[in-house]
Amino acid sequence: MTLPGMAVLFLFAILPLFIMLAYSFQSDNGTGLTLENYSRFFTKTFYLTLTFRTIVNSFLVTVISLVIAYPLAYIMAKHLKGLKNIVMVLLIIPFFTNQLVRVYSWLIFLQDGGVFDRMMNALGLIDGTMGLLYTRTAVIIGLIHAFFPYMVITIYMALERLDNTLLEASSCLGASKLTTFTRVVLPMSMPGVVTGIMIVFVPCLGTFVEPRILGGVNGTVIGTVIEDQFFEIYGWNFGAAIAFLLLAMVLISMAVINRLGRRYDS
C-alpha cells in the first residue's frame, strides 16, 4: 500500500536531489566532474559572509518570535476561554493570502512616506522618514511576520496539554508563580518550544522572497544568491553546489535542535 506513495516521493523529491547533486560536481566548461564549485564557495569571502548573515538573520527571527510567541501562547492556553479560538483564527488568517501579497503589504507599510512613517509623524515620534525599507531590519520584520504564527501554534499546543492540576499543586506546595513557571510550565512546554524553533529557524535559512523584496541589495542572503544562479545568471552548477551546502546547514541545524529537544524530553 505504501509503494505508490514512495514511488511518487522518489520521483518528485529524491530523484531531483540526485540530479542536482550531479550538477553540483560538473564544471561550467564541460570538462567533467570537479570540486571547483564547492571550492569557489569556500574561497570567496562574499559567500561566507552571506552565509553568516543568513544564520544570524535566522537566529534573530527565531529568538524574537519565541519571545513574542510564548506569552501569547500561554495567555491563549491558560487565561482565554472562548476568545482563544478568535485569536487562533486571527493568527491563521494571513495564510489565506498569497505570500507575495503579504510581503508587498509590508513594502507599502514600511516605504518612505508610507503608512508607518505617517503614523510616527502623526504621533510626533519622528520628523521625516524612518528609512526602514531596503534594510536588514525590514527583512527581519517580514520574516517574523511570516513565521511567528508557527511558533505560537506549536507552543500553544504544548501548553494546552499541560494539566492545570499541576499548577494548582505547585501553588498549594508554596511555590511562587515564577517558580511554578520555571520548574513546571517551562520544562513541560519545551517540546513545543523546540518544535517551534525548528519550524522557524530552518525555513529562514533558505528564504529569499522577503530578503529580495524588503531588503533589496542590503537584504541579500544565501537564498537570494541561489535564486540568482538559477534564474538570472543561469549558473546551475554553482547554484546546485550552494543549494547542497545550504541543505547541509539545514540538516545540521535540525540535528542540533533535535538533540536539544531530546535533552528536555529526558
- Find the radius of gyration of the CA atoms of the chain: 22
pLDDT per position as a tens digit, 64-95: 999 999 999 999 888 877 788 888 888 888 88
- pLDDT score for 222: 92
Q: How far apart are CA 205 and CA 70, in angstroms?
A: 22
- pLDDT score for 265: 59
Q: How far apart are CA 201 and CA 64, in angstroms?
A: 11
Q: How far apart are CA 33 and CA 222, in angstroms?
A: 24
The position carrying cell 527571527 is 61
Neighbouring residues of 203: CB distance < 8 A, sequence distance ≥ 6: 147
Q: How far apart are CA 219 and CA 168, in angstroms?
A: 48
Grid coordinates given for 17: 536531489
Neighbouring residues of 210: CB distance < 8 A, sequence distance ≥ 6: 103, 139, 142, 143, 146, 219
Q: How far apart are CA 137 and CA 143, in angstroms?
A: 10
Q: What is the mean pLDDT of each run of 10 residues along the chain (266 residues)?
A: 83 84 83 85 92 94 95 88 82 83 90 86 82 90 92 92 82 83 86 91 91 89 90 87 91 85 65
101: left (phi over 0), alpha (psi -120 to 50) or beta: alpha
- pLDDT score for 19: 86
- pLDDT score for 266: 54
Q: How far apart are CA 33 and CA 29, in angstroms?
A: 11
Q: DSSP character for 216? A: G
Round the average pLDDT of the chain to a whole number and report it.
87
Side chain identity at 169, as an amino acid letter?
A
In the chain, the domains with their CATH numbers are 37-265 (1.10.3720.10)
Query: 206 with 254: CB under 8 angstroms?
Result: no
E strand spans, 24-172 = none
Q: How far apart are CA 255 and CA 160, in angstroms?
A: 26
pLDDT per position as a tens digit, 23-72: 889 887 766 788 889 999 999 999 999 999 999 999 999 999 999 999 99
